[in-house]
Structure 1
Amino acid sequence: MFIPTTKKECEKLGWKQLDIILVTGDCYIDSPLVGVSVIGHCLINAGFRVGIIGQPSLDSADDITRLGEPTLFWGVTGGCIDSMVANRTASGKPRRTDDYTPGGVNNKRPDRAVIAYSNLIRTHFKNCAPIVLGGLEASLRRIAHYDYTSNKIRKSILLDSKADYLLYSMADKSVVELARHLKDGLACNTIRGLCYVSKTAPADGIALPDFDTVQSDNTAFSSMFATFYHNNDPITAKVIYQKQDTRFLVQNPPPLTFTQRELDEVHGFEYMRDAHPYYLQNGSVKALDTIRFSILTHRGCYGECSFCSIAVHQGRTVRSRSKHSILQEVKEITKHPLFRGNIMDVGGPTANMYGFECVKKLTKGACENKSCLFPEVCPTMEIDHAKQIDLLNDIKRVPGVKRVFVTSGIRYDMILADQKNGIRYLQTLIRNHISGQLKIAPEHSSPLVLDKMGKPGIGTLYKFRELFNKFTEKDGKKQFLSYYFIAAHPGCRLEDMKQLKSVCTKELKYTPEQVQLFTPTPSTRSTMMYCTNTDPFTGNNVFVEKSSVGRQRQMEHLLHVPGFLTDENNFGKHHDAKRSDAKRSDAKRGDTKRGDTKRGDTKRGDTKHRDTKREFNTRPSSRKQGRRGKING
């Protein structure tokens, strides 16, 4: 069922007053891929009366007061995407469109939505119930952070919003625990995944450099970030705290990673897979084209790309759903009146991380000074695509399903590292699960830039491309690779973009038509490099192109088409260039979700793929910001 968004719906349920009201910067979409929806269903399942208000007007009391005041708390989220990323391009221009707003015009979500909605609540409800922040925007801004729009270091959003609590990461469990504590009148300060403000420093915990110091000292800011980053694993994390003005921002360790049973339960709720009719009267919601019939198979990502926020939001530990749970969801999808046989995506933050995880990580936590995949795949990470192959085959057999696509990003280095089933997985994708093109994200070709990004070397791409072309030709398919690239990432100079241009034209035979202009988003390693000109983990100096002219020049250099590729006859002869990313579906629109590009504005930012699929939970789409958003995190 839809969670109530009007007083009339509450009356039909016999609810005179709600326990919790969730306020979001998106319109209300009831989907397992939208965080505020998942959080609402988790709370209702736990016995609480919940309502949702999407995109309330700041100019009147009508929206924010229509459900009355909750007995326990207000939950506030900016939506599936950080509002500053949703509203502005990498060059600071206003975005014209919004996929989560009915009608598509970007005129409903305020800048700094979490702060704006918190102020709105206090304006119309004096001595109001506690305000609890959640979702991607709150999660990534929970500590002192660099804000690209204002070009300054800001305090925790918990202090700036004057809210009472902040739930970070995937908050499905912690939000229910918080609701129970508030209902029973218990202290909340021990709940995992909770940030709160205290007049005194906690007795146990790690002290971060105070806010006044990190504002003026880049070395202290880098040290603060490194400690913060390394305290995001549920098994090893400690309480950390930071003095901000006369008070202390305290962060408890993150929530324990979901078990498979718990993850299955969350996806077993009855979701409508549509926007609430109250909002649809204002127009269609474009995000539904992507997420309505998509399947989330797992949470978390151990890729640790430097520009990606998933590590500090969803975490580095992957938890997969059971095959039974996923197949049950597919069967429910086939009953939907709008379903025409196509499952649009089976994946997660990274599609091919389903079904396996490092045993050491599950028992002892993620390694502090070692990445699972970079600079090469860790030998203790026993990559095996067998379970995902079996899952895709079983989904195809469900009555009513015609096609099953994998459109989440894949790590091609993991395919090459899987000696047992990597080739079989690639062949399965080529034969059955891509529609004309497979999008991959090498991001760059320069060894120095790739090192700063935490991405594999260009040689890995060449090996994968050779295999892809080989099996595509063998199967008689007219399919191709398209590539995501980033310009002006820390460490990248114009000379590096010239080298990348040469690689595209001479080696890949590919003409880029979409290039992301690096967008610094809060709480990522790349953003720290951008702000401080220093790698926070190594202390080494990093070149950063900060001028708008220089950043734009890097992007435009890669997009310039050489003369020999402009000839129509020659163009068709280049293997990967027959079609490119911008030549299909919505890529020609002025606004897409991939960052600043020559084609227009996108929201690919610093996240990986589309974090549209989670929010009070949020999963990270800037590219990895958000593939999914949620008050869970």
Structure 2
Amino acid sequence: MQIKKLTDWLPTTNKEVKLRGWDELDVILFSGDAYVDHPSFGPAVIGRILESYGLKVAIVPQPNVNDNLQDFEKLGTPRLFFGVTGGCMDPMVSNYTATKKRRDKDAYTPNGDKGFRPDYATSVYSKILKDKFPNVPVLIGGIEASLRRVTHYDYWSDTLMPTILETSKADMLVYGMGEQPLREIVELLQKGVPFSSLTTIKQTAFLQAGDEPLPKNKNWEDVQIHSHEVCLNDKKKFASNFKVIEQESNKLNANRISQNVNGKTLVINPPFPTMLEAEIDASFDLPYTRLPHPKYNKRGPIPAFEMIKFSINIHRGCFGGCSFCTISAHQGKFIASRSQESVLKEVDKVANMPDFKGYLSDIGGPSANMYKMKGKIQSICDKCVAPSCISPVICSNLDTSHKPLTELYQAVDKHPKIKKSFIGSGIRHDMLVPEFNKNADPKELDDYTEEVMTKHISGRLKVAPEHTSDPVLKLMRKPSFSYFHKFKERFDKINIKKDLKLQLIPYFISNHPACEVEDMANLAAETKDMGFQLEQVQGFTPTPMTVATVIYYSGYHPYTLKPTKTPKSKKEKDDQHRFFFWYKQENKDWIKKTLNKVGRTDLLDVLLPDNKKDNKSWKKVNLKPVKNTFDDAIPSEHSKPTHGSRRKKKQYSRKKRR
């Protein structure tokens, strides 16, 4: 690989701007992340996209907000606009744990150092820029801006907040993936259209005076949601807003949304159609160095980069609509897949990196096995308003063929420098079960499963059933736990057939809306009965723009407007969490008292059987059944990681007897 020069990166300082011979910049980007010039890092993608339009672009990564704010002025005034993003993660998720404790590390900062990203970074950066450069437009984007584009609940401050356009004072917001709206914004600006006149660009939002009529567009219908002030006073109406927002975000022919906010009108234009293969290829084929900026060489590795350094992203989007996940809200429910040629071109770049040892860490996406999947008849998708293509059942119009993905894996492995390619992204195990994926070819599903198990994992396969309770799973838009049992049967069969000795690692989540203590007890008993002992688990964390977060704050399901309970107090959350660790001595007395109190001695017999009894009596216990009362599925890998280890019952019983 050719040795990189400093000018191979976007400039970050005046010195680097001058090295390129530039006297003026067209766009200056500000980011909450360190600058990694890689297609998995949004700020780099936006910078390279703008550069491809012939613009002179610079980036100021992690500007200091605690000094004289010189980082915001050092590159001067851009000709077109400032671009601002909080980074690849919502800054509040980056900075705080689910229990609202400050994190010790920031994965997007060299050496994992904390303190380089302010809380609510997008608003902080934008307000500083508007104060210092009041006449220069500020365009905000990225996941923080995208998911906070309307009235939303903020878990960390425990308040209902207005659109981020109000708190940031920015001029425009791009939601979702930014390539398509940016292209139109730049084209119009280059033609001399004033920034303030860019009011009919798809996938953008802005605030206007409350007494102004909405900009004219004969192709769009309008829908108005309850105002921010109404939401503050009526949680049920706040909840009802979300159904409109989610459906319009996922429609191919969406309506324009408006909302009154503090005497102004928030206008959210409909999204662009899903990116075509040529469009997403063009984004990934830009001249990334695939490396952090050299300025960080002495500061230590950037954890997020180290994790994806040798990984390949093959698609965007997720058609699951998971109730606790923001992927579809940001990337859309329709899948945008790269061509095999584009993927192989990137594989070759990675394979020729100086420190590459022959192992790709991941070939995947938001969900590992949604590549090339789309509607069979487009006109049916055009009219669809469902937030999920696989809940409560897999849509009969959805092509779930895994053959293109299997062929892609095989093509990657033919590269002479690839020793092994791993699948690090979570796999949708339910889509590999013929009883659930009824329209798929069972042999094709088995071929994919066998391909993954024999060639693309090392010891463990991660899947995420998330829960065992049907009511909780239904609210999650997840399939019945019975399908996990069926997948495990197929997994075990291949394991034995190929003598692989692989472990199946299920991920679970506690404290989700509709989840009761008894549900967690049943989860613990059911998983123990299957031979699992969970080691590291995660509680539900409310993040903006999800069904579960709306329920958490309002107490109502946004689609039914029926009251729905959520564990909220520290005691409720801790109690549910304890059931994951039934095997710890300090939890045993509490579990006995709790299950006796609710009359579930059957679960107690499973979790804490009398030592005198043979542990084979587990099978005789009548567990609360996991009924197949619905068919429901949602991408499971987006839940918070819940690492576990698998033990065969025979081994566990032998240990107990000893």
TM score, norm. by length of structure 1 = 0.88
> Quick one: which amino acid aligns to residue 320 of structure 1?
S
Match of 2:182 among 175, 179, 201: 175
Question: Match for residue 116 of structure 2?
Answer: 108
Q: Take 1:66 and 1:411, find their aligned partners in 2: how far apart are those partners? A: 47
Give the match's secondary structure for 2:28. strand
- Could you say if the C-alpha distance between residues 145 and 64 of structure 1 is closer, same or farther in structure 2, counting changes exceeding 3 Å? same
- Could you say if the C-alpha distance between residues 276 and 128 of structure 1 is closer, same or farther in structure 2, counting changes exceeding 3 Å? farther
Question: Match for residue 517 of structure 2?
Answer: 494
Unpaired runs of 5+ residues, structure 2, are 1-7, 586-605, 609-614, 617-633, 643-658
Q: Take 2:174 and 2:137, find their aligned partners in 1: how far apart are those partners? A: 13
Asked if 1:195 is matched to 2:205, the reply is yes
Query: Does structure 1 conserve the Cα–Cα contact (< 8 Å) formed by 2:460 and 2:503?
Result: yes
Query: Does structure 2 conserve the Cα–Cα contact (< 8 Å) formed by 1:310 and 1:607?
Result: no
Asked if 1:256 is matched to 2:292, the reply is no
Q: Take 1:296 and 1:622, find their aligned partners in 2: how far apart are those partners? A: 20
Asked if 1:42 is matched to 2:58, the reply is no
Question: Match for residue 184 of structure 1?
Answer: 191
Displacement of 1:559 after TM fit? 2.2
Displacement of 1:201 after TM fit? 4.3
RMSD across aligned positions (CA): 2.2
Q: Take 2:575 and 2:297, find their aligned partners in 1: how far apart are those partners? A: 41
Query: Does structure 1 conserve the Cα–Cα contact (< 8 Å) formed by 2:361 and 2:424?
Result: yes
Query: Does structure 2 conserve the Cα–Cα contact (< 8 Å) formed by 1:20 and 1:74?
Result: yes
User: Higher relative contact order by CA 8 Å / sep ≥ 6: 1 or 2?
Assistant: 1
Query: Does structure 2 conserve the Cα–Cα contact (< 8 Å) formed by 1:484 and 1:514?
Result: no
Question: Match for residue 160 of structure 1?
Answer: 167
Question: Match for residue 62 of structure 2?
Answer: 55
- Could you say if the C-alpha distance between residues 273 and 38 of structure 1 is closer, same or farther in structure 2, counting changes exceeding 3 Å? same
> Quick one: which amino acid aligns to residue 343 of structure 1?
L
Q: Deviations over 1:385-431 (max 9, x none)?
A: 00111100010011211110111111111111232410000000010
Question: Match for residue 235 of structure 1?
Answer: 252
Give the match's secondary structure for 1:351. coil
Question: Match for residue 66 of structure 1?
Answer: 74
Q: Deviations over 1:442-463 (max 9, x none)?
A: 1100001001101001100000
Deviates more, 1:175-184 or 1:28-37: 175-184
| 1:430-441 to 2 correspondences below 5 Å | 430-441=453-464
Query: Does structure 2 conserve the Cα–Cα contact (< 8 Å) formed by 1:306 and 1:454?
Result: yes
> Quick one: which amino acid aligns to residue 141 of structure 1?
R
- Could you say if the C-alpha distance between residues 528 and 329 of structure 1 is closer, same or farther in structure 2, counting changes exceeding 3 Å? same
Q: Take 1:535 and 1:469, find their aligned partners in 2: how far apart are those partners? A: 38
| 1:616-631 to 2 correspondences below 5 Å | none
Asked if 1:305 is matched to 2:317, the reply is no
- Could you say if the C-alpha distance between residues 608 and 427 of structure 1 is closer, same or farther in structure 2, counting changes exceeding 3 Å? closer
Question: Match for residue 395 of structure 2?
Answer: 378
Q: Take 1:93 and 1:14, find their aligned partners in 2: how far apart are those partners? A: 46
> Quick one: which amino acid aligns to residue 252 of structure 2?
I
| 1:150-549 to 2 correspondences below 5 Å | 150-186=157-193, 187-199=197-209, 200-202=212-214, 205-233=222-250, 235-361=252-378, 364-365=381-382, 367-369=384-386, 371-416=388-433, 417=437, 418-419=440-441, 420-507=443-530, 509-549=531-571
Displacement of 1:101 after TM fit? 0.6
Query: Does structure 2 conserve the Cα–Cα contact (< 8 Å) formed by 1:515 and 1:559?
Result: no
What percent of counterpart residues are identical? 37
Query: Does structure 2 conserve the Cα–Cα contact (< 8 Å) formed by 1:118 and 1:131?
Result: yes
Q: Deviations over 1:223-281 (max 9, x none)?
A: 21111111113522111100001110000001221110111111111211111111333
Q: Deviations over 1:166-222 (max 9, x none)?
A: 000111121132133234332210111110111124165211111110111122112
- Could you say if the C-alpha distance between residues 541 and 557 of structure 1 is closer, same or farther in structure 2, counting changes exceeding 3 Å? same
- Could you say if the C-alpha distance between residues 126 and 332 of structure 1 is closer, same or farther in structure 2, counting changes exceeding 3 Å? closer
Q: Take 2:388 and 2:95, find their aligned partners in 1: how far apart are those partners? A: 33
Q: Take 2:540 and 2:115, find their aligned partners in 1: how far apart are those partners? A: 24
Displacement of 1:541 after TM fit? 1.8
- Could you say if the C-alpha distance between residues 363 and 180 of structure 1 is closer, same or farther in structure 2, counting changes exceeding 3 Å? farther
Q: Take 2:164 and 2:388, find their aligned partners in 1: how far apart are those partners? A: 29
> Quick one: which amino acid aligns to residue 191 of structure 2?
D
- Could you say if the C-alpha distance between residues 341 and 565 of structure 1 is closer, same or farther in structure 2, counting changes exceeding 3 Å? farther
Question: Match for residue 613 of structure 1?
Answer: none
- Could you say if the C-alpha distance between residues 554 and 561 of structure 1 is closer, same or farther in structure 2, counting changes exceeding 3 Å? same
Query: Does structure 1 conserve the Cα–Cα contact (< 8 Å) formed by 2:246 and 2:387?
Result: no
The structure whose Rg is larger is 2
Q: Deviations over 1:73-118 (max 9, x none)?
A: 1111010100111111111111111111111122111100001111
Displacement of 1:122 after TM fit? 3.2
Displacement of 1:607 after TM fit? 9.6
- Could you say if the C-alpha distance between residues 334 and 366 of structure 1 is closer, same or farther in structure 2, counting changes exceeding 3 Å? farther
Give the match's secondary structure for 1:331. helix
Displacement of 1:128 after TM fit? 4.4
Q: Deviations over 1:257-307 (max 9, x none)?
A: 111011111111121111111133322101122211111111111011111
Q: Take 1:362 and 1:406, find their aligned partners in 2: how far apart are those partners? A: 33
Give the match's secondary structure for 1:401. coil
Q: Take 1:338 and 1:362, find their aligned partners in 2: how far apart are those partners? A: 48
Displacement of 1:143 after TM fit? 0.5
- Could you say if the C-alpha distance between residues 565 and 523 of structure 1 is closer, same or farther in structure 2, counting changes exceeding 3 Å? closer
